[in-house]
Structure 1
C-alpha cells in the first residue's frame, strides 16, 4: 500500500510542478501510464481508466503533452500513443528524443531511452525543434 501512496504523492508533486490542478482523472491517467512499459493509445486508456469521458481524457492528454509530462509517438497504424517523459522535460524543453521501437507483430510502441544518436547538423538557417527516431521489427515478446 505504501508504494501506491508514494506514487500518488509523486504524481501530485508532478501536477503541482506543472501548475495543473490535482484531479482524480489526472492522477488515474498518470498511474496507468506509469504502470505500462509501452506507449499507450487513448482508446486503450479509455478501456482501463474507468468513468472518464473521451473529451476529458483528450484534454488531460493534451495538457500533459503541452506541459512536458508525456510525449506522443505514432504506431504503425498512425494511432497516437502516449508515454511518460523523463523528469527533465517541461513545457519549454521537451526531451523525448529517444528511439521508439514499433513491433510489427503486436503493434506495441516502446521507448528505448538508453541509445546514443549521431549528432544532427543542419544547413545554415534551419533550427531543430525536435526529432523522432523510429525502428520497426519484433519485440522480445514476439520474436
Structure 2
C-alpha cells in the first residue's frame, strides 16, 4: 500500500514540473527516495539494470534542471544525486545544507537539519548558493569503529 502512496506523490511531483509520468522516471524517484544517502548514476545503473545508461542520464539531468534532485560530489569527485526539498525550483537549488562524506563506507549524506552559518562574501561578489562538505564516519561506521577498538 505504501508503494501506491509513494507513486501518487511522485506522479504529483512530475505533474508539478510538467514532466511525463513514465515508468522509468517514477522508478528512479522511488529508488532515490528509498535510500537515505545520495546515489551516483553508476549505483543507480546497477540497481536498475533494465533502464539503459542514456535514459538514466537524461532522467537525472532533467530532474536536476527542474529542481527535483541536486548534485553533490563524493570524496572521489563522483557526482551523487539526492532528492531536493520543496523550496528548490527549476534551475535554482536551495541545497545549503551539510553534505557528509563517510570515509569508511563512502556514502554521502545530506544533513538538512543543521543550522548553517550565514555566508558573507567580499564586496563585489554575489553568492547565489553554497555547499559545505564534511568527512568522517557516519553513525553506522563509527559504531563499527568503536567496537573494533
Fold equivalence (TM over 0.5): yes
Distance 1:119 1:17, change over 3 A: same
**SS at 1:73 equivalent:** strand
Give the alignment's Cα RMSD to 1 decimal: 0.9
Alignment of 1:47-62 (within 5 A): 47-62=46-61
1:31-81 CA-partner distances (Å, limit 9, x unpaired): 000000000010110111231110110000000000000001010111110
Distance in 2 between residues matched to 1:92 and 1:44, nearest whole Å: 25
- Aligned equivalent of 2:68: 69
1:103-142 CA-partner distances (Å, limit 9, x unpaired): 0111100000011121111122211121100000011111
- Aligned equivalent of 1:14: 13
- Aligned equivalent of 1:109: 108
User: What's the TM-score once normalised by structure 2's chain length?
Assistant: 0.92
The gaps in structure 2 that reach 5 residues or longer are 143-149
User: What's the TM-score once normalised by structure 1's chain length?
Assistant: 0.96
Paired residues in the alignment total: 142
Distance in 2 between residues matched to 1:79 and 1:93, nearest whole Å: 21
Distance in 2 between residues matched to 1:118 and 1:7, nearest whole Å: 34
Structure with greater Cα Rg: 2
Alignment of 1:1-143 (within 5 A): 2-143=1-142
